[in-house]
Chain A
Amino acid sequence: RKEVEQDPGPFNVPEGATVAFNCTYSNSASQSFFWYRQDCRKEPKLLMSVYSSGNEDGRFTAQLNRASQYISLLIRDSKLSDSATYLCVVNYLTGGFKTIFGAGTRLFVKA
């Protein structure tokens, strides 16, 4: 079983739609959680951190469920520019943080 698992998609949605991605992780000692965004042929960049209480940044909402070991990302009112691969990222402490990336979920937003 992979340490971080995501549905690879692709998700094809129209502009304005709401779309949700889930991610599960296997290491219960995981410390911190993130969503990264990767555009085609570019390096990944941090989209948002994920906090236990849930957090929102504009149209993006991230949730963490430690008991079930999953993380979610909700995108409301999708824009064409949201088309990208969304990577779920988990840090856990093993003498220093070890950072594991999920394989990513591809999103295509169409006009």
Chain B
Amino acid sequence: GAGVSQSPSNKVTEKGKDVELRCDPISGHTALYWYRQSLGQGLEFLIYFQGNSAPDKSGLPSDRFSAERTGGSVSTLTIQRTQQEDSAVYLCASSEMGQGITNTGELFFGEGSRLTVL
């Protein structure tokens, strides 16, 4: 499809296990974001990739969280030794971050990966 694709859509895991969440951005979008949203809460920024620049990891809550983006396209968010407080919806978004004046910076979101840590 033409939109942002995330997988898995739902993941139930046991405390202490590692999980990987995948994001396929819209083709040609150079910027990619990961956000986390707990039930009834706002979006919490996690990490931002822009082209070949070093990612902005300032939102990652602990060193159990890491993300990479291979080839400037697909991204994987990894959570090691999951804890119950990691339970949330993890949203990926991409944006066309060009230099042209037509760039509005609009983010296009995937449907999210709902993580439940038992």
Chain A interface residues (CB < 8 Å from chain B): 31-32, 34, 36, 42-46, 49, 87, 89, 91, 94-104
Contact = CB atoms under 8 A, between A and B. Distances in A.
Interface in B86-106: 91, 95, 97, 104-106
Interface stretch (B18-26, B47-55, B62-70, B77-85): B47-55
B111 A49 contact: no
A31 B95 CA distance: 15
Given A32-B104, A34-B106, A43 B42 contact: no
Contacts of B35: 101
B67 to A, nearest CB: 16
A101 B43 CA distance: 6
Given A43-B91, A43-B112, A99 B107 contact: yes
B110 A43 contact: yes
B42 A97 contact: no
Contact of A96 (B43, B97, B110): B97
Contact of B111 (A43, A94, A102, A103): A43
B109 A97 contact: no
A44 B89 CA distance: 12
